[in-house]
Structure 1
Amino acid sequence: MKPEYPDHPAPADAADRRAVAPVICYPVDALPRPDLAAYRAARAGWIPVAQVTVPPRDARCFEVPAGHFFRITSVEGPQVGDLNLWSADLSERFYSGKSRALHGTHLGTGDRMWSSFPTLRPLATITEDTLDWYGFDEYGGGVHDVIGTRCDPYTHNLLSDGGQYHHCCHSNLTRTLAEHRGMPLAEAETHVHDVLNVFMCTGFTRDTGQYFMKASPVRPGDYLEFFAEIDLLGALSACPGGDCGSVHSSDEAACHPLLVEIFRPKAPPAGWLPPSPNGYDRSHGAG
């Protein structure tokens, strides 16, 4: 725990130091913005090609070809989902830290889910968010965060004096990937990574800077929609915390299924091309 009071007195110029204006780390003015009008126009006449229901406190995998859309929908009650994305061959994975640095702590319409180094390219673009009205509340909370990780059995063990709980999102994602790709659990676990917390309402406390969660504003019929920029493998866990209004990693919270639907447009969005891997030459200044 952080001390209630600082151990060191403030210097005489403390107010001046605190008053220094912030600088955005990664200005994104030069980052090409997705043509949302073209993406949305491509939905006209699209054809549903697959759907997957994710049971409460469990996870499921799904495949999305490049140029297709997919939606995650709340279908029975308030429910948070933890989303992992990979390239179809598992060589690329969602890079939550860089997505956060480029777009902010919470993702929304027009933001992208970026891949890990060395490719650093868009895996998917968010094309619709029915919770975009929420914004940031008086506590600093917003939805669809990339600041948390995913509930996991290791942290649970650490904080519960040795407890063993197997339906944390980390374990859910590990099991479904292992089953879907026919690999051992230990191998599948190495591919599981920090998530997009779909529908989760989170922020940081202003006094201690701690990560907090509160009851999600999601209701049945709300959805988050994506466009697959490359061939994707996804895995979604219906978090054992339900709406995460009180606890997570629990068998007591009210939990509900989530629906994943995949749609094939009649034609790709006008002007769309799959993104190329990042153009850095990978020489790292050597030689």
Structure 2
Amino acid sequence: MRVQEPLNLHDQLPALPTPESFCTDATLTKHMVPAAHGFAFSVKKGDRFRVVDLHGEQVVDFMAWVHGKPSTWLEKMSTAYTRYHLSGIQPAIGECLWTNADRPILRVTADTVKVHDMTFMSCFPQLYEKKGLRGHRSCAQNIFEAMQEFGMENILEIAEPFNIFQNTPNYSLKRLGSSKPGDYLEFEALQDVVCAVSSCPYDLDGFNGGKITDVAVVVAQKKASTT
């Protein structure tokens, strides 16, 4: 049984949009994220975006921060708070990711895979160095590099990752790589946010299908009303 959310949470949220409405009355901007690299972007409250696996079986580390003061990264998406609200279960369509201030930050509005991970940290430089792979790219470094544009100064300021398209055995008995070409996860921003993604560079033990590939981020920004 999931933890009971505040009774008025869903009353406070707008009606759940349909996937077909993603392209309606919105300006779409597509960003290509090269294999084994990262990308950061801002999204206004009420806008939506999709993280798209272009080739299949590619994990994407995802992080988000409430976009207040550019140099402050205190309130951020927390997988621990999200697990609490969802009783350890990954979010279903219509459910939210939560911040470390116990506020919903993003809502899942479409999901073609429904297999993701909220338990593992991002891979980091020392992980590869201990395996004798000095200089190997990592999700932590990718996201830190991408977030420097928004004022991040230390790699330790990165958040806990929501590992999109990553299958973990305690969630599912599906094969390790669950996403297919064109699969996506779509979010609606419930706050003004800065998000960052990394096309995970982990290429060992068959992870990521054994080959790191490009992914895409598509942002749907609402068009200004003409009325």
* TM-score, normalisation: structure 2: 0.82
CA distance in 2, matches of 1:201, 1:263: 27
Q: Which residue of 2 aligns with 1:167?
A: 137
Q: Which residue of 1 aligns with 2:200?
A: 239
Greater RCO, 1 or 2 (C-alpha within 8 Å, sep 6+): 2
CA distance in 2, matches of 1:193, 1:235: 10
Cα root mean square deviation, aligned = 3.0
Post-superposition shift, 1:57? 0.6
**Ranges in structure 1 where 5+ consecutive residues have no aligned partner:** 1-23, 133-142, 206-211, 269-287
Post-superposition shift, 1:106? 2.0
Which residue identity does 2:150 align to in structure 1? R
- Describe how 1:85-164 pairs up with structure 2 within 5 A: 85-89=64-68, 90-103=73-86, 104-117=88-101, 120-132=102-114, 143-158=115-130, 160=131, 163-164=133-134
Post-superposition shift, 1:29? 7.2
Q: Residue 16 of structure 2 contacts residue 109 of structure 2 at CA under 8 Å; is this kept in 1?
A: no
* TM-score, normalisation: structure 1: 0.66
Q: Residue 72 of structure 1 contacts residue 223 of structure 1 at CA under 8 Å; is this kept in 2?
A: yes
- Describe how 1:71-86 pairs up with structure 2 within 5 A: 71-86=50-65
Closer, same or farther in 2 for the Cα pair 1:157/1:241, shift >3 Å?
A: closer
CA distance in 2, matches of 1:126, 1:25: 17
Closer, same or farther in 2 for the Cα pair 1:177/1:29, shift >3 Å?
A: closer
CA distance in 2, matches of 1:27, 1:265: 32
Q: Percent identity?
A: 25
Q: Residue 23 of structure 2 contacts residue 220 of structure 2 at CA under 8 Å; is this kept in 1?
A: no
SS for the counterpart of 2:142 is helix
Match of 2:182 among 207, 221, 226: 221
Post-superposition shift, 1:151? 1.3
CA distance in 2, matches of 1:167, 1:177: 16
**Ranges in structure 2 where 5+ consecutive residues have no aligned partner:** none
Bigger Cα Rg: 1
Post-superposition shift, 1:91? 3.8
**More moved, 258-267 vs 59-68:** 258-267
